[in-house]
């Protein structure tokens, strides 16, 4: 006689457990990514209204490991979010627009 195994169906609790583990994993990745930031400061709202060049100089003095680029508000750029890049968005007068520069922004 052949013995057959009883069919195993996922139990709701095991599905929930898998979801919990996945959620925990995502939280750990997010926390790790934040720990890799090159600076404690993530935003420079004080730059709003300042000239783009002065804002760039300020950020570079506070966080020299960041790459700071000036671009016009509305310009298109890649959709990635590099953690070492600050885009200083300026208006047609060369002044920083709201909400101000931020990491990955």
30-63 residue pLDDT tens: 544 555 555 678 899 999 999 999 999 999 999 8
Please give the average per-residue pLDDT across 88-97, as a whole number.
95
Show the tokens assigned to 62.
């506070």
d(CA 98, CA 27): 30
43 three-state secondary structure: strand
pLDDT band at 79 (very low <50, low <70, confident <90, very high): confident
d(CA 47, CA 50): 5
Q: What is the dihedral of CA 102, 86, 44, 61, to 10 degrees?
A: 150
């Amino acid at each position: 006689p052949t013995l057959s195994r009883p069919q195993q169906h996922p139990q709701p609790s095991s599905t929930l457990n898998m979801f919990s583990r996945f959620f925990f994993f995502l939280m750990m990745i997010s926390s790790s990514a934040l720990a890799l930031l090159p600076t404690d400061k993530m935003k420079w709202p004080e730059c709003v209204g300042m000239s783009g060049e002065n804002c760039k100089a300020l950020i570079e003095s506070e966080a020299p490991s960041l790459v700071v680029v000036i671009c016009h508000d509305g310009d298109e750029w890649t959709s990635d979010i590099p953690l070492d890049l600050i885009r200083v968005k300026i208006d047609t007068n060369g002044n920083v627009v709201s909400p101000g520069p931020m990491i990955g922004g």
